[in-house]
Structure 1
Amino acid sequence: MTPILLLIAGAAVFFWWNAARAAAERATQLGRNACEAAGVIWLDQSVQATGLRLRRDGQGRLGFERSFRFDYSYDGVQRHTGKLVLHGARLVSLAGPTRPDPIVSLH
């Protein structure tokens, strides 16, 4: 019976790792797209996982909500931190770069 339990545990670990990798790749894509849309520099070319929790979606299905952070810069000197939250592959929230307002001259 022990080999079967080890096989089940190994499969569970593999699926957990695979889902975490897929979420990180999706977060990377979304972070990069947000920076491109805002016209800012995406620093480090990566995201960092910052949180994981069990949560229900809008239809009541239970799933994992993963939080990620990424860094960006408007001028290449100062770093700013953005945050995004995914429930599965769906973007739940994004707090990050915005396109700066143009400076209006009153001359």
Structure 2
Amino acid sequence: MAEWSLLALMIAGAWFWMDSVSKREIALKIGRQLADRCNLQFLDETVACSRVGFARDTNGRVQILRTYTFDVSSHGIERMACHLQLRGGQLVAWHIPPYATQ
């Protein structure tokens, strides 16, 4: 019985890891698009998952809610910390702080 539990745990862990990799790629693409839309430079070509939780979708189903942080720059010098949230693979919220345009 313990072997089956261990196997189930390993399968669940592998699924979560593979799902996290694919969602990170989605967050990377969305972060780049948000930066482009705001005429900002997307820095480091990377995003980092900062929080994982659960949330319900519009149909009431529980999905994984991930918050990703990323940095942008308006002039190539300063860094502005931004974030976006994915529920499943859908963008549900994002934030880019106010910045000066010159």
Do the aligned partners of residues 85 and 32 (structure 1) sit closer, same or farther apart at CA in structure 2, a change above 3 Å counting? Answer: same
Q: TM-score, normalised by structure 2?
A: 0.88
Identity of aligned residues (%): 27
Q: Which runs of 5+ in 1 are unaligned?
A: none
Task: Within 5 Å, give how 1:1-107 maps onto structure 2.
Answer: 1-96=1-96
- CA deviation vs aligned residue, 1:7-49 (integer Å, no higher than 9, x gap): 2121111011111111111100100111122221111110011
CA root-mean-square deviation: 2.0
Cα distance, 1:98 vs structure 2: 7.5
Letter in 2 for 1:13: G
Q: Which runs of 5+ in 2 are unaligned?
A: none
Q: TM-score, normalised by structure 1?
A: 0.85
Larger Cα Rg: Structure 1 or Structure 2? 1
SS at match of 2:44: strand
